[in-house]
Structure formats: C-alpha cells, structure tokens
C-alpha cells in the first residue's frame, strides 16, 4: 500500500492505495464521492469524468497515484458555496438535459471543461466536445441546449425535440 495525497474539491485528502487503484475507485470507495460514476471501465462512456489540475480526465483510466499532489474536481464540488446548483447544473435542470441521471455528472464536468476553454461554443462545437460522453436516454438534444444556455446564449431558436 502507498500513501497518496491530493486536493479534492478544495480539501486536502489522503489515503492508502494499492498501485493498481484507479482514481475513480479512490474517489468513490475511499472518499465516498459517489457522484463520479463507473459506466464502462474502458474510457468509452465519460461517466467518470473529473477535472485534474483543471483538465478533463476520465478517472477510470488514471491511477490514483498519478493524481499525487494534484487538484481534483468532482461533480460534488460543482455546486455554489451555498449548496445551490451552479449555472451549468441549473441549465441541465431547466432544459431537461438529463433523464435517468447516470451520465449527468460526466456531462456536467465535460460542459464545465468546454465552457472554460470556449465560453461561447456553437451547437456543433458542443456536440463534437461531447463525443467522449455517452447518454442512452436523452438523445443529446437537451444536453446541448442546456450547455448553450449555461454559456449565456439564446436557445429559443433550437427546436424542441
């Protein structure tokens, strides 16, 4: 077992892990942050997406030891300081960008990374950016609409589906 330390959602954390422990396992099993989902274990679905040092990373493909000393952000750290939904989360709620909710944490984390890189993405750019995230329920239309809304763009021209 090896000691690993990192900052998760602004708090210093540490724990003992085996060398093969994935970051997603450490977050869920050691820290109890179960919002980061395990969907495929092959980095295909994006349900485990977190931010590591400001970059979007699929936590099922990164060892916990690789995050030593890093700043990690999970879906649990996305809410506003008072516990209310942040602008992206609120847009997902307002524009029905979720259905079963399993993919939602990864989608929100992807949206946050995209809007950090590109504050006013086009519909095409959003769809392209989300190619690494799978949703089996919504058909993506309302997810794209929610991200456009979160970026402050007018979504009235987008037809309802």
Give how far Cα 148 sits from Cα of 2, 141, 151, 157, Å.
43, 11, 5, 11
d(CA 152, CA 143): 14
Q: Consecutive sets of 10 residues in the chain, 161 residues long: mean pLDDT of each?
A: 97 97 98 95 92 97 98 97 97 93 96 98 96 87 96 83 49
Single out the residue of 68, 52, 98 nearest to residue 60, CA to CA. 52
Single pTM value for the model? 0.94
d(CA 129, CA 6): 27
Q: For the chain, count helices (H), then strands (E).
A: 5, 5
């Amino acid at each position: 077992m090896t000691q690993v330390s990192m900052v998760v959602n602004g708090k210093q954390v540490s724990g003992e892990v085996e060398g093969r422990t994935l970051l997603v396992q450490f977050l869920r099993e050691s820290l109890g942050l179960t919002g980061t989902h395990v969907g495929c274990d092959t980095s295909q679905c994006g349900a485990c997406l977190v931010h590591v040092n400001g970059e979007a990373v699929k936590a099922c493909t990164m060892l916990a030891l690789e995050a030593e000393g890093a700043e990690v952000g999970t879906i649990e750290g996305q809410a506003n300081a008072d516990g209310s939904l942040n602008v992206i989360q609120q847009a997902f709620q307002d524009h029905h960008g979720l259905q079963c909710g399993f993919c939602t944490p990864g989608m929100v984390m992807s949206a946050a990374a995209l809007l950090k890189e590109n504050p006013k993405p086009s519909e095409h750019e959003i769809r392209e950016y989300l190619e690494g995230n799978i949703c089996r329920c919504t058909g993506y239309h309302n997810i794209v609409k929610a991200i456009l809304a979160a970026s402050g763009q007018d979504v009235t021209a987008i037809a309802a589906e």
